A = this chain, B = another copy of it.
């Protein structure tokens, strides 16, 4: 019998603020960071599980402290027992009455639970010798539903309805797996659109994106409407009428302000407006969507759990479900959200970027294609060309499509040298700052 012997967190920070990569209207100077965790066992295979929460710098220490607090749940437990029933372990962790008080199921403590669950999924996939997306895509509908916590969902999605959706997609799973391995999955790019970039850089990167095969790019907006109109015009002229341009306000607006601002951007035919207002404001998103139709509304990267996604869908507040690999309660909760989206017929277009989000979330989108939606229509995974070199199994995009990963695991594993260099505050990158 093998047992878990350690849960080791590290505070890893990349000094991205020095180059204004990742600058948007709400996050002017982020240092992309990971509260990183490795779970180890005493099994002979020597395999470890890796996971993380993405943050933007300050507070990564608090997130790391939260990971430490989860250690006692795992250390000493039977590896097979935990990994074979990650649904039960997830419910135990996110349902613990005392930890739950710090959320419930939101913020620092919930993201820490998610990082640990993701690390366990990474380990499970490595032990199975499969990339996470294939591990998930080959589980039975019953096994998948056992992973999901249906608590607070049953007015929108019951276990029986989820089973029916999954069973309906069983035919063709093998063909779609094969298709993914050949063709990959559609990507869009945010690389050209950061607020801190010059016009020249915006034009150059927009044209490069088109040349690289992307048919959807995204611009950050929300700091100044005149600037946004100007930049949107520049980008539209750079890419021409046939390339879609999404815009992202990163929560900067009041409800009325979102409606007015989008009326000024409407002539440039935005594909969607992302995070127009507070991620908590379900009713606000619904009102904005109704008032700016037919422009689509997207949100999700800061929606903190399945209950929020349930309501966004029930209220017809969004056209695009933007799951995030590290915000909610891990793979477990993202499975619930993917099935909610399927129930309501809304496409999932994952949020990515940051540190490692592209690497991990592609597994979830590919699972969605193989085992749930069966389609890539209206679906894209965000791609940002930052920091991939720090990962063993980096996200690769070719001609506008994510290549399907084949390395066993969830792709969360960072290179040891990258971790050592960027450990905060002791690593050489931060020394003397």
A residues at B contact (CB < 8 Å): 26-31, 55-59, 61-63, 65-66, 69, 96-112, 151-152, 154-155, 251, 254-256, 277-284, 287, 302, 304-305, 307-308, 310-311, 314-315
Contacts and interface: CB of A to CB of B under 8 A. Distances in A.
A314 to B, nearest CB: 6
A69 B26 CA distance: 21
Copies of this chain, complex-wide, total: 2
Contact of A151 (B63, B154, B155, B254): B254
Contact of A56 (B55, B98, B108): B98
Contacts of A56: 97-98, 101
B102 A62 contact: yes
Given A26-B100, A155-B287, A280-B305, 7 more contacts: A55-B102, A56-B97, A57-B101, A59-B98, A61-B69, A280-B307, A280-B311
Nearest to A110: B107
A98 B155 contact: no
Nearest to A31: B98
A145 to B, nearest CB: 16
Nearest to A303: B280
Of A26, A55, A154, A311, the most chain B CB neighbours within 10 A belong to: A311
B57 A98 contact: yes
A22 to B, nearest CB: 11
Nearest to A311: B283
A59 B154 contact: no
